[in-house]
Amino acid sequence: MDSKIEQLQKMVDMSSRIVFFGGAGVSTESGIPDFRSVDGLYQQHYKYPPEIMLSHSFYESHTAEFFDFYREKMLYLKAEPNEAHRKLVELEKAGKLAAVVTQNIDGLHQKAGSHAVFELHGSVHRNYCRHCHKLFDAQFMLNSTGIPKCECGGTIKPDVVLYEEGLNQQTLQGAVEAIERADMLMIGGTSLAVYPAASLVNYYNGNRLVLINRTGTPQDKNADLMIHGNIGEVLGQLH
């Protein structure tokens, strides 16, 4: 076994309140692309960068265009959990993992079977009528055309945190408290570039800070263990 994986295994073995904090890289192994990685194909299809199309002001001013983009680029309802999601479920069942904090909105942690999940940026699986607050699922959104409407006439808005919008304070507080109490913080599949989510690392007080990412992050110098690789491949080697 790789010596870094061995170190990771030892840290997991001696921990009982692990918090996993994950980003887009956790879902790419399930075939969900990171929308921030703008490719040529994308640029041919849309007039604006994703940060604009997924902003609150764009939603308000170009609602129909927002939903065209949203249905095509944000809804991957056939995606299945990968090795990373499954290993985190195992750790939760074994009483070693306290919570998953995720920046992803695809619901794959819950689909895999995780219970304690803080979705910082919301979820595509919850969509509410802005008028009567009726709940709609992601399949309804995918099947809709134009601007999705409730039978009451209200527009249905995904429970997803758009650019320019604040995080849900209750979710954020829950994530902060879990990280403060954690005896190990495992961060995977994120470049820790998106604030305020990235600043959550600062609430961790322990000495088992692990970073697992394909590229470097601004927190590398603070990590007790750093592993460069795909999160699913790395976690899949734990027993």
The burial class, CB within 10 Å (0-12 / 13-18 / 19+), for 49 is middle
Q: How far is the CB of 67 from Zn ion (least distance, A)?
A: 16
Does 131 bind Zn ion (CB under 5 A)? Our answer is yes
Catalytic member of 121, 125, 131, 133? 121
Does 135 bind Zn ion (CB under 5 A)? Our answer is no
Interface residue with Zn ion, options 17, 63, 113, 154 (CB under 5 A)? 154
Residue 121 falls in the annotated catalytic set: yes
Nearer Cβ to Zn ion, position 155 or 168? 155
**Count of chain residues binding Zn ion (CB under 5 A):** 7
Q: What's the alpha-carbon Rg for the chain, to the nearest Å?
A: 18
Interface residue with Zn ion, options 152, 214, 218, 222 (CB under 5 A)? 152
CB 114 within 8 A of CB 92: yes
Interface residue with Zn ion, options 132, 135, 147, 193 (CB under 5 A)? 132
Comparing C-alpha atoms, which of 66, 90, 93 is closest to residue 163? 66
Nearer Cβ to Zn ion, position 154 or 236? 154
Q: How far is the CB of 152 from Zn ion (least distance, A)?
A: 3
CA angle (134, 138, 143) in 5-degree steps: 100
CB 226 within 8 A of CB 187: no
The DSSP element (H or E) to which 126 belongs, if any, is: strand 122-129
Q: What CA–CA distance (Å, rounded) separates 93 from 79?
A: 23
Nearer Cβ to Zn ion, position 45 or 131? 131
Q: What CA–CA distance (Å, rounded) separates 96 from 58?
A: 42
Q: How far is the CB of 144 from Zn ion (least distance, A)?
A: 14
Does 129 bind Zn ion (CB under 5 A)? Our answer is yes
Residues in contact with 194: Cβ distance below 8 Å, sequence separation at least 6, in sequence order:
23, 103
The neighbour count for residue 100, using CB atoms within 10 Å, is 29
Q: Which stretch binds Zn ion (CB under 5 A): 11-19, 45-53, 153-161, 198-206?
A: 153-161
Nearer Cβ to Zn ion, position 93 or 134? 134
Q: How far is the CB of 156 from Zn ion (least distance, A)?
A: 8
Does 128 bind Zn ion (CB under 5 A)? Our answer is no
Q: How far is the CB of 150 from Zn ion (least distance, A)?
A: 3
78 φψ region: left (φ > 0), alpha (ψ -120 to 50), beta (else): alpha
Q: What CA–CA distance (Å, rounded) separates 126 from 202?
A: 29
Q: Which stretch binds Zn ion (CB under 5 A): 34-42, 57-65, 96-104, 134-142?
A: 134-142
Q: Which residues bind Zn ion (CB under 5 A)?
A: 129, 131-132, 134, 150, 152, 154
Q: Which residues does the annotation mark as catalytic? A: 121
